[in-house]
Amino acid sequence: LLPQASTLNPVDVAGSSDANPSLLASCIELVMADEGVDSVFLVGMFGGYSLRFAESLMGDEMRGAERMVELAQASEKPLVIYSLYAPIKPPALRRLHEAGLPVYSSIEHAVRVLAALGERGEYLASQQVQETIAPAAPSETGKAMLKAAKAEGRDLLEFEAKGLLAEHGIAVPEEWLVRREDELAEIAQRTQGKPLAMKVVSKDILHKSDAGGVKLNLVGEAPLRDAFQAIHSNAQAYDPNAQIEGVLVTPMAEKGVEVIIGMLRDPIFGPVLMFGLGGIFVEVLEDVAFRSLPQTLRDAQSMVDQLKAQKVLAGVRGAAGVDKQALVSLLMQVSQLVEAYPEICELDLNPVIAYPEGHSAANYAIVDARIIVERQS
């Protein structure tokens, strides 16, 4: 190349090919041989040298075109061409086009094609590695639980939903189903002054807070008894016909980053998994990612990385970032569970509180869980 040329990326021949257009094929050969290069984009006026400078250059351009065809056919790296003369379709460009090489008259279009090729390459590379984890085998307890709910025309109660999660190795917080007020004394003694949460358990009350069925930060036996009585009273006032199974008592979860994991069965795509910021942020920010099942480990990782609110997961105002790998593992476990039980129509874990690495064994806490069961036809 001439002294004024640049051999950086992008290579700029700086007029070196004006009298020798086939020199561009030699440049492409050298660039393709570079292990650090994944695709080659020829930009300029190839095909038009004989029109712009001298008709005698047509033979050299055709030799260059033939060499480009050979290089493209011998390499797995894509070769994309943009030329100012593409609309005129000179012989050299027609030869490239006939050989199946992409020749464009728009540089913007060509760049979008390169981006699409890159995305396609990443997808193909991910498919070469079998990262899909086989569905979990349904447990006898889980099958019986879902069968009973289906026969009764109801969804799983919260403690049942969490029990099914636990059956498949998903960490759930310690909790107690309390049906009688006198059971609270033992729980108060066992938890030794830790703040507790209490929620009504009823198939007829979907939104527990709206019914006054949630009490938080309860410490000691007396507040637990008062909350038990208040929840029963509120629930009966909210729906006199509601069947109350009892209350669910669990330690208050520490503060962290709230996320949501959900699943629904789409009529076209089948089971679809959803991940996003949880709590009130789901409806306000709508920062969520979706993937159809079965999913690969790469799918789960990309769901976590896709959220726009990466700074929230990474930690803000001095807070430590959450354990993303724990969330990836949880997504994979939920994926396996959903595939194991086709009778699950919808699943909603919201909120799941994500914690930094080293916080606990799981580094997350599932605060609420809903599993909607297929109804009898």
User: Is-contact 184 225, C-beta < 8 A?
Assistant: yes
pLDDT mean across residues, the chain = 92
- At 315, is the pLDDT very low, low, confident or very high (cuts 50, 70, 90)? confident
Closest residue by Cα to residue 66 from 28, 12, 104: 28
What's the whole-number mean pLDDT along residues 305-321?
Answer: 84
pLDDT at 264: 95
Query: What is the CATH number that goes with domain 174-252?
Result: 3.30.1490.20
Closest residue by Cα to residue 304 from 334, 274, 342: 274
Indicate if the pLDDT at residue 245 is higher than 80: yes
- At 354, is the pLDDT very low, low, confident or very high (cuts 50, 70, 90)? very high
Closest residue by Cα to residue 72 from 89, 97, 48, 49: 97
Which secondary-structure segment (H or E) carries 344?
strand 344-354
Say how many CA atoms lie within 13 Å of 76 toward its Cβ.
4
Residue reference for tokens 């606990």: 360
Domain boundaries, the chain: 23-128, 174-252, 257-373
pLDDT at 309: 82
Would strands 257-266 and 270-277 be described as parallel, antiparallel, or unpaired? Answer: antiparallel
Residue reference for tokens 């700086």: 14
Using CA atoms, how far apart are residues 276 and 285, in angstroms rounded to an integer?
10
What is 257-373's CATH number, 3.40.220.10, 3.30.470.20, 3.40.50.880, 3.30.70.3270?
A: 3.30.470.20
- Bridge partners of 260, per DSSP, are 276
What's the whole-number mean pLDDT along residues 3-24?
Answer: 95
Which residue type is seen at 342?
P
Indicate if the pLDDT at residue 127 is higher than 70: no
Closest residue by Cα to residue 117 from 76, 87, 68: 76
Indicate if the pLDDT at residue 148 is higher than 90: yes
pLDDT at 312: 86
pLDDT at 196: 97
- The model's pTM: 0.68
